[in-house]
């Protein structure tokens, strides 16, 4: 099997993940276990779906 890290969909999703984490890092500390965790979780699920859609 080819190295998935070379796939465009993987690199684009990875870059998107980094952007989401940078944005949510600037949220207030009071949102750490609320909004921040929800946004990051939804982003990770979206990342996995984008990878799996290529099969």
Q: What ranges do the domains of the chain cover?
A: 4-52
DSSP one-letter code for 1 = -
* Buried b or exposed e, range 14-48, using 16+ CB within 10 angstroms: eeeeeebeeebeeeeeeeeeeebeebeeebeeebe
Predicted confidence at residue 32, as pLDDT, reads 74
Euclidean distance between CA atoms 49 and 25, whole angstroms: 24
Per-residue pLDDT tens over the stretch 1-55: 577 778 787 788 788 888 888 888 887 887 777 887 888 777 777 766 766 666 5
């Amino acid at each position: 099997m080819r190295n998935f890290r070379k796939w465009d969909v993987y690199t684009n999703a990875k870059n998107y993940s980094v952007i989401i984490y940078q944005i949510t890092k600037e949220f207030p500390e009071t949102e750490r276990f609320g909004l921040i965790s929800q946004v990051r979780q939804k982003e990770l699920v979206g990342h996995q779906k984008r990878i799996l859609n290529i099969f």
